[in-house]
Structure 1
Amino acid sequence: MTDLSDIRREYNKGGLRRADLPANPMTLFATWMGQAREAELSDPTAMCVATVDASGQPFQRIVLLKRFDDNGFVFFTNLESRKAQQIAANAKISLLFPWHPLERQVAVTGQAEALSTAEVIKYFMSRPKESQIAAWVSKQSSKLSARQALESKFMEMKAKFAQGEIPLPKFWGGFLVRPSSIEFWQGGEHRLHDRFLYTKEASSWQIDRLAP
């Protein structure tokens, strides 16, 4: 077994205090997302999305956040993918934004609900043409005999859609994650990290400090 126990560092980029917290967690999330973008982090919108299968086995993968507001967090995916099938059976979901260079994490729990076709079309048409074609090509999470098969299918579909707009695949869509809790984690010296948990209660949010 490889021993990694000696890998450690101090977290000293600043703290998070109760007096500085807004009543709405999405206000703080917007501030932190803006600062992550200003810091020019690689993929600041990348989030780990966790779902659970019918046996209770959790799965995680990195997905890009495409929009957020007071209602929640939006991402898009192939509706035949493993994550989408698991969401269809169990809509409970969690998200994690790992902004390590800023010594921050944001963890979200909530329920995923399918977006309307109109919302999906609006986003799909904004994607680069190659990304639209890729959506048609990939049967996400299915087994492939070789990468060449995927590339050949891409070229085939590229030729097919060479003229005109690319239609929305019936198997492609998106989800809105409505949060029930949002935790903000800010690294602190001597492992005395600052953690604040927002929990949804009716139309307001309960805020609690958690031990690190």
Structure 2
Amino acid sequence: MPLSLAKMRRQYTRDGLDEAQASDDPLALFALWMQQARDTESPPVEANAMALATVDAQGRPHCRVLLLKGFDVQGFSFFGNYDSLKGQDLAANPWAAMTFFWPGLERQVRIEGPVHKLDPALSDAYFESRSVGSRLGAWASPQSRPLPDRAALETLLTQTERRFADQPVRRPGHWGGYCLQPQRLEFWQGRADRLHDRLDYRLQDGAWQRSRLAP
């Protein structure tokens, strides 16, 4: 019997999102929601997991799940291989969108803006904080390129382990951080009967302008 996806639905009744309760600063509201997600969501959900969407040189969109590694007034930071398909997309079109979904809180946040590479010193510092295995993996994996099988990847890792057997594993030049500078943030709170709350913040002339969007 085929699975009927059309019948899969859920009522959202946990909370609401009112302008009087929302900060005028979307970064402050994001910080609050992220902390609440960290306190509420249970494994295997990772509160900092996000879908990152990019567009390639031909205008085709691509989306994947990454982990947010930091945010402040400068923007939202994540890391990866500059030579990957994701890196190629950002080199051709340095603009991206990220979405966070926290099912336990019935919340979603969408963020859009231009992206630039982080200062190399910041990428170095984060790389040094990773496990040795993850650092070796950044050297060993030709990310996004075809491999004949799993054994080929394991061979590359073995070769990399030998290469760095007697020396520290420094950050490779093809790996580092990105920062998305937000131009728009939308906060979505699920409500009953699909009449959700949506508060949209847009940066205009250096100041955040907030409006409510219809669900």
Q: TM-score, normalised by structure 2?
A: 0.95
- The number of residue pairs the alignment matches comes to 212
Structure 2 match to 1:53: 56
Kindly provide the amino acid, as one letter, of the partner of residue 38 in structure 1: D
> Cα deviations across residues 8-61 of structure 1 (Å, max 9, x unaligned)?
121011100000111110101011110111114321111100011111110000
Q: Mean alpha-carbon deviation: is it higher for 147-156 or for 25-34?
A: 147-156
CA RMSD of aligned residues (A): 1.2
**Offset at residue 2 of structure 1 (A):** 5.1
Kindly provide the amino acid, as one letter, of the partner of residue 104 in structure 2: P
**Offset at residue 157 of structure 1 (A):** 1.3
Structure 1 match to 2:111: 108
Structure 1 match to 2:127: 124
Structure 2 match to 1:35: 36
- 2:153 maps to 1:150: yes
Kindly provide the amino acid, as one letter, of the partner of residue 37 in structure 1: R
**SS at 1:118 equivalent:** helix
Percent identity for Structure 1 against Structure 2: 43
For residues 34 and 6 of structure 1, the distance between their equivalents in structure 2, rounded to whole angstroms, comes to 33
Structure 1 match to 2:7: 6
For residues 116 and 22 of structure 1, the distance between their equivalents in structure 2, rounded to whole angstroms, comes to 30
**SS at 1:38 equivalent:** helix
Structure 2 match to 1:134: 137
Moved over 3 A (4+): none
Structure 2 match to 1:71: 74
- 2:180 maps to 1:177: yes
> Cα deviations across residues 133-169 of structure 1 (Å, max 9, x unaligned)?
0000111110011111101211221232233421110
Matches within 5 A, 1:177-196: 177-196=180-199
Structure 2 match to 1:18: 19
Structure 2 residue runs without a partner (length 5+): none
**Offset at residue 189 of structure 1 (A):** 1.0
1:208 to 207, 211, 214: 211
Kindly provide the amino acid, as one letter, of the partner of residue 18 in structure 2: R
Kindly provide the amino acid, as one letter, of the partner of residue 75 in structure 1: F
Q: Mean alpha-carbon deviation: is it higher for 156-165 or for 115-124?
A: 156-165
- Maintained 8 Å contact 2:41/2:102: no
> Cα deviations across residues 168-192 of structure 1 (Å, max 9, x unaligned)?
1011111100010000000001111
For residues 93 and 40 of structure 1, the distance between their equivalents in structure 2, rounded to whole angstroms, comes to 26
